[in-house]
Amino acid sequence: MPKTSRAAVIPEPNAPVEIREFEIPELKPGAALLKVANAGVCGTDVHLWHGKLAGVPYPLIPGHEMVGTVEAIGPKKIRNVDGHEIKVGDRVTIHDVTKTCYSCWFCLIAKAPTKCPNREVYGITMDSTKWPHLIGAYSEYVYVTPGTHVIQIPDHVSFDGAGAVGCAMPTAVHTVIRSPLKWGSNVAIQGAGPVGLMLLALAKINGASTITSIDMESHRLKLAEKFGATHTLNIRETSLKERHDFLREITNGHGPDIVYEATGNALAVPEGVELVREGGTYTICGQYTDSGTVEMNPHLMNRKHLDIRTVWGSETTHVYQAVRTIADNYDEFPFEDVVTHKFLLDQTQEALETQERHESVKAVISPND
């Protein structure tokens, strides 16, 4: 077992990222050590760098998306949700949310475990100054705490291909489960970043009839076509009215049954209400950061007789289904192509800046390369 691990650290909001060395702590029963192959650079990580999330402890080792190899296991067997043992050498990802308590009102009574107040997220809420320190993915090694759900990646899926897991595919899985998607549905998806692309794949896998991807970047829309978009709309080249009318033209005049929002842009939300058909469903999963208010028309919402569902966080089942979905459909979609930029650990600062400029679809850091 290695003795030390290099990790990227955000010392405080907006300060340059530093690479620091940490001692690897002894593994307690139920714990494991993960050798990180790829750590995903999520838009949230850029927000963390700028200190935009409340309650985050600095200095912080960021990174909640990770795939890699089990380097060591503590003095107790650990098992996946199917009851199979996790072994040293297994290629795995983890559910980045841990300590969901299944004892509180949200977990047991409201059945909304993503609102459990006890949960902790690797690379976001856990304090690198305290034991076991190595709890962010921008690191050679991550200490996988007891109770964290570990999910094996099948051999035929590369680490890059599994990179769509991270938080994009589980978020998309959760979002689809909250919507009435079924075969024959007409779907529009706002945003062709990682979450939007995974929503595209899921819409196609579920037999959607038309799937329109909406984004402002033509390189993303090209990737969207590879992920099953039957149509694309560039918001730099079309007006809202044109998008609205186009969606009716391809759907017998009705408009999309379901619109998924995966943009991070608050203005997308009133547009989504416009785009969805009467009696349809609008599902919002991309408003993870507070970017203020927008103007919305309650009469329009009411008149259209809508279901509007919002989706927060992910449960272990969504990560489990995400991995299965990628594995089962690996030949059908170019999952590896989502990873457009790769960085070394020493390039973490550059990785964050690239992500901030929206140049990448998904950037990853490979701390052991």
Query: What residues from 259 to 278 belong to the interface with a copy of itself (CB under 8 A)?
Result: 266, 268-269, 277-278
Per the CB < 8 A criterion, the answer to whether 23 and 4 are in contact is yes
Residues 115, 71: Cα–Cα separation, whole Å: 32
Q: Which helix (H) or strand (E) holds 66?
A: strand 66-73
Phi-psi region for residue 220, left (φ > 0), alpha (ψ -120 to 50) or beta? alpha
Find the part of the chain contacting a copy of itself (CB under 8 A) among 3-11, 15-23, 58-66, 77-85.
Answer: 77-85
Could you say which of 158, 289, 340, 349 contacts a copy of itself (CB under 8 A)? 289
Tell me the site size for a copy of itself, rule CB under 8 A.
78
- Judged by beta carbon, residue 76 or residue 324, the one nearer a copy of itself is 324
Residue 87 CB partners (closer than 8 Å, separation 6+): 70, 73
Footprint of a copy of itself on residues 328-347 (CB under 8 A)?
Answer: 328-329
> Which one among 77, 87, 222, 305 touches a copy of itself, defined by CB under 8 A?
305
Torsion of CA 5, 142, 50, 314, to 10 degrees: 170
Cis amide leading into 194 (omega within 30): no
Nearest to a copy of itself of 290, 369 (CB atom): 290
Binding to a copy of itself (CB under 8 A) within 91-150 occurs at 100, 102-112, 114-115, 147, 149
Q: Provide, rounded to whole angstroms, the least separation between the CB of residue 293 and a copy of itself.
A: 4
Kindly state whether residue 85 participates in binding a copy of itself, applying the rule CB under 8 A: no
Residue 314 found at the interface with a copy of itself (CB under 8 A) = no
Give me the helix-helix angle, 168-177 and 194-205, nearest 10°: 50
Angle between helices 168-177 and 316-328 (to 10 degrees): 100
**Binding flag, residue 353, a copy of itself (CB under 8 A):** no
Question: Contacting a copy of itself (CB under 8 A), which of 324, 344, 346, 369?
Answer: 324
Under rule CB under 8 A, which residues in 211-230 are in contact with a copy of itself?
none
Q: Does 73 bind a copy of itself (CB under 8 A)?
A: no
Beta strands 120-121 and 97-98: pairing type?
Answer: antiparallel
Q: What is the DSSP letter of 24?
A: P
Check binding of 313 to a copy of itself (CB under 8 A). Answer: yes
Tell me: does residue 240 bind a copy of itself (CB under 8 A): no
- Is residue 182 classed exposed, middle or buried when 0-12, 13-18 and 19+ CB atoms within 10 A define those classes? exposed
| Least distance between a copy of itself and beta carbon 81 (Å) | 5
Instruction: State whether residue 30 is helix, strand or coil.
Output: coil
Q: Which is nearer to a copy of itself, 6 or 309 (CB)?
A: 309
Q: Are 68 and 34 in contact (CB under 8 A)?
A: yes
Among 15, 88, 240, 294, binds a copy of itself (CB under 8 A): 294
